[in-house]
Structure 1
Amino acid sequence: MKGVILAGGFGTRIQPLTNSIPKPMLPVANRPIMEHVVHRLKEAGIEEIVVLLYYQAEVIKNYFKDGSDFGVKITYVQPEADYGTAGAVKQAQNYLNETFIIVSGDVITDFNLSELIAFHKSKSSKFTLALYSVENPLQFGVVITNKEGKVLKFLEKPGWGEVFSDTVNTGIYVVEPEILNYIPEDKPFDFAMDLFPKLMKSGIDLWALKMRGYWRDIGNIDSYRDVHKDIFAGLVKIRIPGRIITTKEARIYVEEGTEIPENVSLKGTVILGKNVKVGEGSELKNCVIGNNTVIGRNVKLFDSVLWWNVSIDEESEIRNGVICNDVKIGKRVKAKEGVVIAEDCEVEDEVLFLKDVVVWPEKVIEKGSVVTKNIVCESKWEKGIFKGNKVIGRINVELTPDNATKLGMALGSVLPPKSTVILARDYHRASRTIKRSFLGGILSTGINVIDLHLSPLPVMRFTLTEDKKAVCGVYFSISQEFPGSVEICVFDENGLPIDTNFQKKIERVFFREAYRFETFTDLGLIKEKPYFSENYVTKLLSSIDGDSIKLSSNKVVYDALHSPISPFISEVLGKLEIENVILNALYDERKLSRISTYASSSEGNVSKVLKALSYDVGFVMEPSATKLKLVDDRGRTISGDRLLLVVLMLLDKSAEKQLRVYLPVWAPEVLDAILNNVIVERGKFTNLRKSFIEDFYMLADTDGSFTFTEFSYSPDALYASLKIMEMLTKLKVKVSEIYDSLPEYYFLHEVVSCSSEKKGTVLRKISEMAEGKEASFIEGVKIYEDYGNWVLVLPDSYKDLIHVYVQSTERERAEELIKNYMEIVRGICKK
């Protein structure tokens, strides 16, 4: 028999505990919930487990790997969409050719699953449910059975007026594989709402067994606390790590590296992780303390759960609290019942938390503060609003409608009255919500607005350059890097990101709330100008050699990845009379917000279609429509640095005169000595202005972004794809011919976590290593080790990361260089 663990939930109701980890990975008694589930399955003799993933899948994969460390074999299945509970299991049908048991990855239970399996077999059942009696059945499916256990009636999440039993569905099922044939493919489908009625209507009996023992669904913070209280009280039998020390007043679990001073008071159940340090005179009662946590002298912790890397300074006191990872708590901090402090927070000395306060991630609580309410918004931005040219915030957390209004007021206040600003957005409802709030704020400062409504980012940036009155543009979109967040990008009149000085002006007004308020008669006006999209298409077609493309036999496949640019792709290809197939062209808000889940399969889909139809070239666009990947006529995906070199080769071979091209310092140099008509220059890619950009024919990066200044001063994936087709037509070549002509080289890129305080030290140390060698210091430190081999060490401008790039003509040399420099940088960052 196999086990199936449902581990794809978002954990929305238990935020902010699930800020950076999925709910199955929440620690209970110092081990992830899902680890307890794995042990429960193994005790029932089940050693082959299929784990169904969705949200933050890599966190789960990185922890459990292939399962061998836990005595099981794990296979991961990650559906491309949220198909519901039954729909997700359907995705794993190829692995489920025998009886299997399904368990949620976010429940704590000590059920004897062997009893459920035996009952299932005794009834020759096709589908068996595990039932349990609870005090409040409103959040679960209520089930009525006859004396033999046959299900007679089922009601999912009833109101109190509908409740007919306290016996609920636990979501633990034993299933025969043929039941999967009743679940449709690639469609949201739920066990309780959809499958159970369908099976009963089809004459298939559902059987159920009321289980003995403990079961709790960890759906919110209260249930997370309650499961620990039950563990402290000995009500649940789970595996708790560590050696056991029993005293008259306590039962203590201690893992390796942890020592307890003699004058520490321990009462009740105390669970201590690895390398925990407890200060003298401290008192711990019914607590879980995570790995690498440091507790100062005379600290009192009662009925609390501390995650990993927490530090609590002397004489602080926490009652019934949940303290997440990497939290620093100062001296004499008092937290009354129910405090929750999410990850990466700092609480300074002598802070008082009143009852049931929740502090969201990355907050700083100043010394002596009395915290009377939840701290959700704004503090994330204490050191600055902008990251690059973007403001990024979680919807209704940092980016509430109120904060969006204030941002609009701040921008409007630094612009001259009666100025004109262009606004646009993608089609996600979160982007629309924030844009509308922002719009009200900027109008209040007397700024006029041209509202493009739904518009692709390149179209909005193009419009900025065309409208001579507009001084600024703002684009609102769902973030691909941070799920659940909205990005607000601000551009100047040339469609370029505003510079850091402009950003600081906006931030000063925002934090000081020094807004300009205009009178009733001087408020801003709104103009709607969707016709600018026509101007975009007209300019785009006039900027390429459309006649040549029409005469060519190019056939193309696009994957628009549900981007707002998809209608423009269709229109332009139609006018150019290019035979085409466009995948994922329809707007899909659900997929747009999690496009990274689907993007991994898009290249393969384009390749399959391209080869099946014998087409010439394929393109995969990011939702922003600023970056692309190329699929050649053999179905190979070309991206990153390889795509950059292919475009450089095409440009060099098709150019009739010498052209200047600007690249970042990390771009490969293997073509520099080969190119005849392309003059390559390298330098910084931040704060580039129009006066600099217009001197180059093309700007390009290794991330698939290309700017052709004959059309625009900013990246445009649609124009870049047409330009590639134009050059292919002119040269009468296939992409594969250019790709295969590239010289052999190896280009590697890795990142190292490094605090901001250490970045300068890293650069200094690496600079010292460059002494006596050929080196460049344009951006970061670039060291030429020997012919054709170089290393670039570059601090990230916005994140606590160091980038390490390596180029070499030999694979082994490239791997050797990246390994050596990664070790060096890590060593410097840890000191």
Structure 2
Amino acid sequence: MKAVIMAGGFGTRLKPLTNNLPKPMVPIVNKPIMAHTIKLLKHHRFDQIVALLYYQPEKISTYFKDGSAFGVKIDYVKAEDDFGTAGSVKNAQELLDERFLVISGDVLTDFNLTDALRFHQEKGSIATILLTHVSNPLPFGVVITDNEGKIERFLEKPSWGQVFSDTVNTGIYLFEPEVLDYIPPKTEFDFSKDLFPLLMSKGKPLYGYVAKGYWQDIGGLKQYQSVNLDCLEETVHVEIEGKKQDNAWIGENCIIGKNVIFDKQVVIGKNCIIKDNVFLSRSVIGDNCFIGENCEIRDSILWHHVKLGRSVKLLSDVIANDTRIGNEAYFEDNVFVSDHCVIGNRAVITANVRIWPRKDVEEGAVLSTSLIWGERWLRELFTNSRVTGIINAEVSPEFGAKLGAAFGAYLGKGNYVATSRDSSEAARMINRALICGFMSTGVNVGDLRTMPIPIVRYALRSGQEKGGVHVRQSPRDERLVDIICFDSDGRDLPVTKTKSIERLFMQGDFPRVSFQEVGKLDFPVRVMESYTESFLKHIDVSAIEKGKFKIVIDYSFGLSGQVLPAILGSLDCDVIALNAYPDARRSPRKWEDFRYSLLQLTNIVNSLKADVGFLIDAGAESLSVVDENGHYLNNELLLLLVTKLYLETFHPRRIAVPVTAPMAIDRLASTLGVEVVKTRDDHRSLIDAASSTSSHSKEVTSFVGGTRGGFIFPEFHFACDAMFAMAKIVELMALNKIHLGELARQIQPPLMDRKEVPCPWEAKGRVMRYLMEFSKNKQRELIDGVKIYYNESEWVLILPDKELPLVHIVAEAQNRKKVDSLLNEFEKKILRWIERD
């Protein structure tokens, strides 16, 4: 039978190990990944192999030749360009005239392919995807099947709110040859994004087979280390060469000295010399290596022809081919050394350092990176479009410069970027570091300095910049700093771009420009004036002037206090300003601080008999409101009130709210003939909804309301802007001649509550899989988490947290008892599902 090995990967996330080696040739227990794959294929009678090559193809073809030494026949197809996964296989169509299997060249697995083939044949499938369960589905494509294995839905690299299962696409497929007819030639075409949705739309039989056994995508350096350790612990069934002696597999022609201790499983390659008093534990030693006396090697991987002097210490490190390490050198954990390097005597290499090929480290040197990465950076840099870390620990000036350089390298030399920050000293420091990084890659910088986020977005939309950043001290924790990245239109940077920047950051070899090409730095003018002019054009100024409102505004020591007073001066309102000067140290972050600010606002509204009170968050994106009676309007009630006023005033045809919005909005919109679009409960989704149009009526979205105090009025701005939202709420009050408290008394407030359930990261996908099974025959919505409807006024939503090991439960019902019942019922279910295998 025939099989295709996709062996064209660059191995970007495995750098520096793959600088001079294609990813399929990276050794796992002394054999290339691809050699293990071929062994598995041959075992299951796939002995006619087509290898798709792209990056450094000669290193693969020279090693495997025609495949006869491995008991198979190999044909090589070299790609002219990167045509995607499906497009690459299309290039080999003339060799694939019968049923065939496709497997990625960068995974290690021991799946029973024979069982998968039997399933494929029994189902009469045109394409079968091999699936497996993983603890973190985010980097993969989530696949949902029915009880017979027929595929119902794909989600490629989802967010936690889109994770409805822990069953993912392994990149192993069984195809009938006619599937190639659906792939256009010499066109970028992907299996998951293009081919499979196309086959489903045409009603072709497409199945998923949940395979049992080991599977690991070797996507990064941590996975590479863990795969080798799994082989040592025999978690995966692979062939390890050498004679087994107690805890060690020892290759032929090896010389083992006196008092050598094999503490745990160890693999020693061929022709190795291990001197006296060496301690080895859970490590792989390649062929033709020399280990000097008194060395200590734990959890480490040495490739071929590596030489260690005496008394060298390695801990969880990887040393590539032909590297020499001098006497008494000391390596901390997670050091990755590429090929042909020389490390001098008594050198110290600190944790998480990477050394590129053919580099020398001098005798006695201490080599450290500018960033001591925490585990977080090894896992994931971005959360949506934001990078968050501890100031001067995880996010230091060196980190900022590196991130700026990575972002700049992605944007390209000669382009422009906008930078901005809040008033904190930490943000000033990191912003300047980012500017240095941008300029070092030839990117020109327009520094807006201290500027509210909505105005930064506004400026990007109308400017020539290709991207932007805003740095702020975190609104949740004063120890943290946020770096928010924007696209050229001011929207949040999409995941495709953040992943590209993350890859550049991780590999660290982005180009620097010559001194003549260093980027320019300037300070744009008239940004505030342009924003103010447009702001006033989109507000009914005369209606507000006639209202003669008395308004109390708490600026939360944020940047809106530098902008909004001048605008309000044009509206003839009596404004009492609180905390109007920027001071990031005093901005409310904890619930206690927020509650105190609300209490202060309530007291002042009452004592001054004001018409309304607003608390604008420090970033000027969301607001909290106190009515004329001094009552705090919670987010759900505020959303309902503002939506009702907007619908009855402007009669739009289409609005958008999150899945967590109260059902009263749906009922109100239905009576007025307004289409309600449901979105995920995050800012990016609200922004996308603001620019969307109806597929059948072509109606634009006129209003977007969030459940966290954020509102979007697309006629003025595509993003949440608390300053404009505040003015718009006052305008709606004026046009309807009504106060918010008076309106609130006319409606039934939504009865909602929420609960947080601690849930380990590795259990989140499993919980969602069991939830999908539980809700299969119920009315449900799969926009953001799983929302189950019981009737037109009762529902429950289960949503995994994006950043914390938590699952959120949100419920709405007609009475308090039912809300509590739903919350408690699903808390118990989640805890039970966490414990299930």
TM-score, normalised to structure 2, is: 0.55
Q: 2:733 aligns with which of 728, 749, 752?
A: 728
Amino acid at match of 1:777: L
Aligned residue pairs total: 487
Distance 1:744 1:427 in 2: 38
Whether the aligned pair in 1 keeps the contact of 2:657 and 2:679 (CA below 8 Å) is yes
Whether the aligned pair in 1 keeps the contact of 2:606 and 2:629 (CA below 8 Å) is yes
Aligned-residue offset at 1:581? 0.4
Residue 753 (str. 1) matches residue 758 (str. 2): yes
In structure 1, the gaps of 5 or more residues are 1-296, 299-313, 317-330, 335-346
Amino acid at match of 2:476: E
Q: 2:775 aligns with which of 762, 765, 770?
A: 770
With over 3 angstroms needed to count, the CA separation of the structure-2 counterparts of 1:597 and 1:446, relative to structure 1, is farther
Q: Please show how residues 113-128 of structure 1 align to structure 2 within 5 Å.
A: none
Amino acid at match of 1:824: K
Distance 2:772 2:348 in 1: 46
Question: What SS class does the counterpart of residue 533 from structure 2 fall into?
Answer: helix
Amino acid at match of 1:755: P
Q: Please show how residues 133-152 of structure 1 align to structure 2 within 5 Å.
A: none
Q: Deviations over 1:359-399 (max 9, x none)?
A: 9xxx97899x9986578722331122101211111111011
> What is the match of residue 484 of structure 1?
479
Whether the aligned pair in 1 keeps the contact of 2:417 and 2:467 (CA below 8 Å) is yes
Residue 634 (str. 1) matches residue 639 (str. 2): no
With over 3 angstroms needed to count, the CA separation of the structure-2 counterparts of 1:593 and 1:413, relative to structure 1, is farther
Residue 452 (str. 1) matches residue 451 (str. 2): no
With over 3 angstroms needed to count, the CA separation of the structure-2 counterparts of 1:596 and 1:433, relative to structure 1, is farther
Amino acid at match of 1:407: L
Question: What SS class does the counterpart of residue 557 from structure 1 fall into?
Answer: strand
Amino acid at match of 1:559: D
> What is the match of residue 544 of structure 1?
539
Q: Deviations over 1:229-249 (max 9, x none)?
A: xxxxxxxxxxxxxxxxxxxxx
Whether the aligned pair in 1 keeps the contact of 2:397 and 2:429 (CA below 8 Å) is yes
Amino acid at match of 1:693: A
The farther-off stretch of 700-709 and 790-799 is 790-799
Q: Which of structures 1 and 2 has the larger relative contact order (alpha carbons within 8 angstroms, sep 6+)?
A: 2
Q: Deviations over 1:93-115 (max 9, x none)?
A: xxxxxxxxxxxxxxxxxxxxxxx
> What is the match of residue 656 of structure 2?
662
> What is the match of residue 130 of structure 2?
none
Aligned-residue offset at 1:590? 2.7
Whether the aligned pair in 2 keeps the contact of 1:333 and 1:350 (CA below 8 Å) is no
With over 3 angstroms needed to count, the CA separation of the structure-2 counterparts of 1:754 and 1:631, relative to structure 1, is same
The farther-off stretch of 737-746 and 604-613 is 737-746
Distance 2:448 2:527 in 1: 8
Distance 1:698 1:371 in 2: 59
> What is the match of residue 618 of structure 2?
623
With over 3 angstroms needed to count, the CA separation of the structure-2 counterparts of 1:642 and 1:566, relative to structure 1, is same
Distance 1:499 1:725 in 2: 34
Residue 559 (str. 1) matches residue 559 (str. 2): no
Q: Please show how residues 12-27 of structure 1 align to structure 2 within 5 Å.
A: none
> What is the match of residue 323 of structure 1?
none
Q: Deviations over 1:462-518 (max 9, x none)?
A: 111121x11211101101223211110001122211110100110111111121222
Distance 1:569 1:456 in 2: 11
Whether the aligned pair in 1 keeps the contact of 2:318 and 2:336 (CA below 8 Å) is no
Distance 1:371 1:713 in 2: 52
Distance 2:461 2:396 in 1: 31
Distance 1:504 1:818 in 2: 36
Residue 433 (str. 1) matches residue 429 (str. 2): yes
Distance 1:457 1:502 in 2: 20
Question: What SS class does the counterpart of residue 626 from structure 1 fall into?
Answer: coil
Q: 2:601 aligns with which of 593, 603, 606?
A: 606
Amino acid at match of 1:405: A
Distance 1:764 1:691 in 2: 27
Question: What SS class does the counterpart of residue 496 from structure 1 fall into?
Answer: coil
Residue 708 (str. 1) matches residue 704 (str. 2): no
> What is the match of residue 679 of structure 1?
675
> What is the match of residue 443 of structure 1?
439
Q: 2:815 aligns with which of 785, 791, 810?
A: 810
Whether the aligned pair in 1 keeps the contact of 2:421 and 2:449 (CA below 8 Å) is yes
Amino acid at match of 1:654: T
> What is the match of residue 414 of structure 1?
410
With over 3 angstroms needed to count, the CA separation of the structure-2 counterparts of 1:787 and 1:551, relative to structure 1, is closer
Residue 693 (str. 1) matches residue 685 (str. 2): no
Aligned-residue offset at 1:608? 0.9
Aligned-residue offset at 1:616? 0.3
> What is the match of residue 804 of structure 2?
799
Amino acid at match of 1:706: F
Q: Please show how residues 92-241 of structure 1 align to structure 2 within 5 Å.
A: none
> What is the match of residue 742 of structure 1?
747
Distance 1:595 1:432 in 2: 23
Q: 2:400 aligns with which of 398, 404, 411?
A: 404
Q: Please show how residues 344-423 of structure 1 align to structure 2 within 5 Å.
A: 373=350, 377-379=372-374, 380-423=376-419
With over 3 angstroms needed to count, the CA separation of the structure-2 counterparts of 1:639 and 1:745, relative to structure 1, is closer
Whether the aligned pair in 1 keeps the contact of 2:781 and 2:787 (CA below 8 Å) is yes
With over 3 angstroms needed to count, the CA separation of the structure-2 counterparts of 1:790 and 1:567, relative to structure 1, is same
Aligned-residue offset at 1:595? 6.7
Large movers: runs of 4+ above 4 Å: 331-334, 347-351, 363-367, 369-376, 593-597, 685-692
> What is the match of residue 6 of structure 2?
none
With over 3 angstroms needed to count, the CA separation of the structure-2 counterparts of 1:358 and 1:627, relative to structure 1, is farther
Aligned-residue offset at 1:792? 1.1
Amino acid at match of 1:527: D
With over 3 angstroms needed to count, the CA separation of the structure-2 counterparts of 1:472 and 1:722, relative to structure 1, is same
Question: What SS class does the counterpart of residue 809 from structure 1 fall into?
Answer: coil
TM-score, normalised to structure 1, is: 0.55
> What is the match of residue 821 of structure 1?
826
Whether the aligned pair in 1 keeps the contact of 2:781 and 2:788 (CA below 8 Å) is yes
Question: What SS class does the counterpart of residue 379 from structure 2 fall into?
Answer: coil
Distance 1:803 1:620 in 2: 26
With over 3 angstroms needed to count, the CA separation of the structure-2 counterparts of 1:364 and 1:700, relative to structure 1, is farther
Q: Please show how residues 462-541 of structure 1 align to structure 2 within 5 Å.
A: 462-467=458-463, 469-541=464-536
Amino acid at match of 2:404: G
Q: Please show how residues 245-324 of structure 1 align to structure 2 within 5 Å.
A: none
Aligned-residue offset at 1:416? 2.9
With over 3 angstroms needed to count, the CA separation of the structure-2 counterparts of 1:610 and 1:702, relative to structure 1, is same
Question: What SS class does the counterpart of residue 438 from structure 2 fall into?
Answer: helix
With over 3 angstroms needed to count, the CA separation of the structure-2 counterparts of 1:592 and 1:777, relative to structure 1, is closer
Question: What SS class does the counterpart of residue 715 from structure 1 fall into?
Answer: coil
With over 3 angstroms needed to count, the CA separation of the structure-2 counterparts of 1:598 and 1:688, relative to structure 1, is closer
Whether the aligned pair in 2 keeps the contact of 1:451 and 1:529 (CA below 8 Å) is yes
Amino acid at match of 2:625: L
With over 3 angstroms needed to count, the CA separation of the structure-2 counterparts of 1:691 and 1:739, relative to structure 1, is closer
Distance 1:457 1:663 in 2: 22
With over 3 angstroms needed to count, the CA separation of the structure-2 counterparts of 1:830 and 1:624, relative to structure 1, is farther
With over 3 angstroms needed to count, the CA separation of the structure-2 counterparts of 1:428 and 1:389, relative to structure 1, is same
Question: What SS class does the counterpart of residue 581 from structure 1 fall into?
Answer: strand
Whether the aligned pair in 2 keeps the contact of 1:494 and 1:690 (CA below 8 Å) is no
Question: What SS class does the counterpart of residue 414 from structure 2 fall into?
Answer: coil
